Structure 1
Amino acid sequence: MKLQNNRGQVMLIACLLFLAAAAAVSAAAAGPALRRVSAARAFADARQGLYAVASVSEDVAYRKIKGLAVGNAEIFSVGGISATAEVANVSGGQEISAFANGTRFSRNTTMRLVAGDGASFYYGMQASAGGIDLLNTASIAGNVYSNGPVTGENSNLVKGIVVSAGSFGFIDGVHATGTVYAHTIRDSDIDGDAYYQTISGTTVGGALHPGSADQATSSLAISDEQIAEWESDAAAGGTISSPCPYKITDTATLGPKKIACDMEISGNGYALTLNGPLWIVGNLTISNGPTIKVASSLGGASVPIIADKPSNQTTSSKIELQNSAVFQGSGSTDSYVLMISHNKSAKQGGSETAIDLKNSIDGDLLVYAPHGEVLIQDSVNVKEASGYRIRLKNSAEVIYETGLANLIFTSGPSGGYMIESWKETE
C-alpha cells in the first residue's frame, strides 16, 4: 500500500514537472512571437509617422513654392498619427522641420528650400528705347541704364553710373557722380570718367575716353512670359467679378486673386495684406493713405500686382498711386510690392501714362511698365523703376537697394522657392 502511495506521488511530481517544462517551452516560444507582434506594431506606427511627417513637410513646401499662406506651425494627420511642420528662415532660403512622436517611435525630417533665380534688377532705374527724363530736383541713388536717351534739366542728380546704350546713345543735361557712357554726351556735369564718341559743353571730373565703343543695349528684368505666369497664378486663386469697380476701403487680406474689372484701394488707417499675386483686368487706383503689405508668412518673397486688360492695353491697364499710400514688404529682407502695368501706349507712340506716382508715395515699392511710361513726381520714393520710358520730376527720388539684384517672387517660372534637400534626422 505504501508503495502504491509513493508511485502516486511520483506520477504527480512527473506531471507537475511536465507542465512546468511545457509552460517554460511555451513561454520561450511566445516571447519572440510577442516581441515580433510588438515590433510589427511599432514598425507600422513608425511608417505612418513617416508618412505623416512627409505629408506635412511636402504640403508646406508646396505652399511656399506656390506663394500660398503658411502658418508658423502646420499639423497633418495620417491614420491617427499627427505630424507638425515648422518653418524657419535660414541663410539663402527656408528650412522646414517636421516631426511626429508616439509611444513606440519618433520621426523627424528636415527639408531645405532655396530661393529661385527670380528677377534681377541691377540698376536703380532702367528704360527701353523710350529713354529717361530727369526734371527739376529729381534724383536717383543708384545706377541708370537706358536703351534710349537720358536727358535732364535743372538740379537733377544721379548718384551712380549712367549708361545710354547703342549707337544712338545720348546723354544731355545730366549731373552724375559716377562714370557716364554714351555715344554722344552734351551739356552735362560728370564727376567720374566719360566714355563717348562725341562730347560737348560738359564738365568731366575724371578721365576722358574718346572713341569708346558703344555699350550694348539690355533687356528689362521681367519678360512678358513671366508676367503671364503670374497672371495664371493669380487666376488659379479664384476670380472676383463684382461689384465693379472692386473697392477696398477697410482691412483685408487678398491673393492670389484675379479681379475682373477696375480696382480702387482708398482710405487711411488700414492695411491690405497680400498673400499672393493680384491680376487686375483694368485700371488700379490707390489713394489717400492705405498700407499695402506682403504677408509675413511669405518670408523673403515679393508679390506682384498686375494691371492688364488684354482687350485694352492702350487706354486701360494703368496704375495710379497717390496721396500718402505706403508699401511694406513682409518684414524680411528683400521683400517688396511690385506694381506692373501692361499698358502699351508709350511704345505705340501714344500719350497715356502706364504708371503714375505722385504726392507722397513711400516704402518697399518697385514699379515696372515694360511697354509703357512711368511718371514719378512730387515727394515719391521707390526702390526701383523700369519701363519703356521713365520721367522723374520735382522732388521724386529712386533709392536702389542691393537686394534687388536677386529678387524672389512668390510664384512664376523662375521665382519663389525650390527644394534643395530632404533628409530624415531621426
Structure 2
Amino acid sequence: MITKLKIKDKKSKLLKSPYYLLPTTSYPLKEGQVMIIALVFLAVVLIIASSLFSRVTDFIRFGSNSVLKEQATNLADAGLDYATQRLNDLAGAYPDADGAGTDTQTLSTGQVVITVENKSQNLRTITATGYIPNQSSPRAKRTVKADVIIDSQQISFRYAVQTGEGGVSMANSSMINGTVYTNGSINGSGSSTINGEGYAHGTISSPDPTFNCEQLPCKHENTPEQPLPTIENPDINTLKQQAEAGGITNCTPTCTLDYNQPLTTERYNGNLSITNNATVTIMSGPIYITGNFTISQGGTILKLDNSFGSNGTYLIVDGVVTQTQGGQIRPTNANPKGYILLVTNSTSDSAISLSQSGTNAIFYALQGGADLSQSAEVTSLTAKKLTLQNSASLTYDQGLASATFSSGPGGGWIIKKGTYKFTSSP
C-alpha cells in the first residue's frame, strides 16, 4: 500500500488537497491589442515588399540602361562604317573637300556625330559618338574611334638590284649604289663599281667590279638562292582587272600622250607613248598597257601625284618598257617617297631598256631581262638578268625595304588594324 504524501507549506499549513497541482492562469487580451499586432505584421510585410520592389525596379532600370547603351554603341559603330564608306565614295573628300570636319546623321533610333581628322594624304582618324535619343538630351551616349588608311600592298625591295639566274653584268664605268643579290653570278669590267655588298649564288669576278662597303667582306659567293619579290594581294591578274574596270582605250596601234594631262585607272589596248615634253600625272592606278610603253625626250615627265603620299602605284605592261632621250619618271615628294612600279611581263632579254638619266622609279621584269646604258639612273630594279654599261648607275632608296602600293587616294579606305577604340561614356 502506497502511502500518500502530505506536503506542508512554509507556514506549516496543510494544503486542502493532498496533491500538488500546477496553477493555470488565462490573461484575456485587452481591447485594441489585436489591431496593434495586425498593424505591426502588415508593416513588416510592407517593408519586405518595398525592398523587393526597389530591387526589381533597379534591375529593370539597369536592364533598360544596358539596352540604351548598346543601341548607342551600335549607332557609333554605324557612324564609323558610314564615314569610311563616304571617304571611298568621295575620294577622301569627306566631310569636306579637305577630308576633315564634323557630320551629324539622324537615324530612327538616335543621332550620331562623326568627326574626321586629316592626319595625312593616306591617314584619317574617325571619332563617332552615338546618342540615344538625341544629342541635346541623351539618355545614353557611346563613342568609338579608329584610324582609317588607304588599302595598300607592301612589297619589300630590299636590294638595289635583285636578279634571277641570269646574273648581273657591269661594264664601262657603270655603278650600283646599294646591295646586289643574284641567283646567278656578278661579272664586271671596265672600272665598274658596287658601293655596297654583293651576294651571288654563283661567282663574283675580280678585279672588276670594285667593291666599297662599310663592313668587310663585301663579296659573298655561293650564297643560297633568294626568291624574287612577289606581287600578291592583289596579284598581277587582279590589278589588270582593276585597271579594266576604270575604262578601256583602244590604241591603233599606239596612243600618244604629247601634252600635259592626267592619267587615271585604265586599260590601254595597244602601245602607249609619252613624248613631246609633256607632263603626265598619274592620279589613280593601276594602269594596264597590253602592248609596249615608251617615254622619250628630256622634258617629258611621267610623275605620281603627290596625293599618293608615301604610297606608290602600278603601271603594268605586257610588252617592253623603253625610256630614251632623258624621259623622266618621278615619285611623290613625300618622306618616304611613293614610287611608280613599272612591271613588265615580257620574256625579252631587253624587257626593260633604259638610257640617259631621269628614271626615278622601280622596275620589275617578271620574266625577262633589263639593260641600262648611257648614264641611265634607276632607284631599284628586279629582273631575270641585268646588264649595265656606258656609265649607267643605280642608286637605292632605303625606303623601298617596306614600299607600299595602292590604287591611289580615291579608293580603298579601310580601318587600320589595332586602332579601334571604345570609349565608355555616361
TM range (shorter): 0.5 to 0.7
| Aligned: 1:70 with 2:92 | yes
Give distance in 2, aligned partners of 1:82 and 1:418: 18
Note the alpha carbon deviations across 1:335-355, whole angstroms, 9 max, x for none: 111111110133xxxxxx101
What residue number does 1:419 align with? 416
The counterpart of 2:156, out of the listed 115, 120, 123, is: 120
Which runs of structure 2 are paired with 1:326-341 in the superposition (5 Å)?
326-332=328-334, 333-341=336-344
Conserved in 1, the CA contact under 8 Å of 2:355 and 2:373? yes
Relative distance call for 1:108 and 1:378 in structure 2 (3 A) is farther
What residue number does 2:377 align with? 381
Give distance in 2, aligned partners of 1:238 and 1:79: 37
Give distance in 2, aligned partners of 1:416 and 1:370: 29
Secondary structure, aligned partner of 2:239: helix
Conserved in 1, the CA contact under 8 Å of 2:116 and 2:124? no
What residue number does 1:282 align with? 291
User: Offset at 1:276?
Assistant: 1.3
Relative distance call for 1:96 and 1:244 in structure 2 (3 A) is farther
Conserved in 2, the CA contact under 8 Å of 1:69 and 1:298? no
Give distance in 1, aligned partners of 2:158 and 2:193: 19
Secondary structure, aligned partner of 1:56: helix
The alignment covers a number of residue pairs equal to 334
What residue number does 1:263 align with? 272
Which AA in structure 1 matches 2:281?
A: L
Note the alpha carbon deviations across 1:351-378, whole angstroms, 9 max, x for none: xx10111122243x11110211111111
The counterpart of 2:81, out of the listed 43, 50, 54, is: 54
Secondary structure, aligned partner of 1:118: strand
Give distance in 2, aligned partners of 1:98 and 1:54: 11
What residue number does 2:354 align with? 357
The counterpart of 1:222, out of the listed 230, 233, 252, is: 230
Per mean C-alpha deviation after superposition, the further-off stretch among 371-380 and 152-161 is: 371-380
Which AA in structure 2 matches 1:393?
A: Q
Relative distance call for 1:46 and 1:220 in structure 2 (3 A) is closer
Note the alpha carbon deviations across 1:54-85, whole angstroms, 9 max, x for none: 3122443x57xxxx943431788866989564
Per mean C-alpha deviation after superposition, the further-off stretch among 397-406 and 332-341 is: 332-341
What residue number does 1:295 align with? 305
What residue number does 2:367 align with? 371
Q: Which runs of 5+ in 2 are unaligned?
A: 1-69
Secondary structure, aligned partner of 1:395: coil
What residue number does 2:203 align with? 169
Note the alpha carbon deviations across 1:365-405, whole angstroms, 9 max, x for none: 11110211111111222110110111111121111111111
CA RMSD of the aligned region, Å?
3.8
What residue number does 2:346 align with? 343
% same residue: 21
Give distance in 1, aligned partners of 2:259 and 2:128: 39
Secondary structure, aligned partner of 1:136: coil
Which AA in structure 1 matches 2:341?
A: L
Give distance in 1, aligned partners of 2:306 and 2:143: 26
User: Offset at 1:422?
Assistant: 2.7
Secondary structure, aligned partner of 2:262: strand
Per mean C-alpha deviation after superposition, the further-off stretch among 129-138 and 104-113 is: 104-113
Per mean C-alpha deviation after superposition, the further-off stretch among 268-277 and 95-104 is: 95-104
| Aligned: 1:97 with 2:121 | no
Which AA in structure 1 matches 2:379?
A: K
Secondary structure, aligned partner of 1:171: coil
User: Offset at 1:277?
Assistant: 1.1
Conserved in 2, the CA contact under 8 Å of 1:253 and 1:275? no
Conserved in 1, the CA contact under 8 Å of 2:211 and 2:219? no
Give distance in 2, aligned partners of 1:70 and 1:193: 47
Give distance in 2, aligned partners of 1:260 and 1:109: 47
